[in-house]
Structure 1
């Protein structure tokens, strides 16, 4: 199985999570709102429907939808 094209990386020590799409860094998200804006800018206007779809988004290191430092 191929890996999900969108990766939300582990929370940083200062908070926020790096977001990549197919290896390209989109930015540092501090909320789902930030994440959705990155996905919209990347051409995925229906990003909200994708956030919990494991075929599209892989949440690494930490719980999904949590952006604060561990």
Structure 2
């Protein structure tokens, strides 16, 4: 994960989805930590696991932490 861009996870929307953006690019909506990891991997960012998404300072959680999904 070293050198990888910052990840922003936005507040949950009315459906419980959270937009995920990396380096200014919107990757999609996540409904769980597993979805966040899948979006990162689809974007070519290898080496991410659910525990990494929760623990790293490279993920900025807006509108609630990793336990908030609406």
Whether the 8 Å CA contact 2:33–2:66 is kept in 1: the answer is no
Per the TM alignment, residue 25 of structure 1 is displaced from its structure 2 partner at its CA by: 0.4
1:43/1:65 Cα in 2 relative to 1: closer, same or farther (>3 Å)?
farther
Query: Which consecutive unaligned segments of at least 5 residues does structure 2 have?
Result: none
* 2:43 maps to 1:53: no
The count of aligned residue pairs is: 64
Structure with higher strand content: 1
Paired with 1:65 and 1:35, the residues of 2 have a C-alpha distance of 12
Q: How far apart are 1:21 and its partner, in Å?
A: 0.2
Distance 2:43 2:68 in 1: 22
TM-score by length of 2: 0.79
Unaligned runs of 5+ in 1: none
| Higher RCO (CA 8 Å, separation ≥ 6 residues) | 1
| TM-score, normalised with respect to structure 1 | 0.79
RMSD between superposed Cα atoms in Å: 1.5
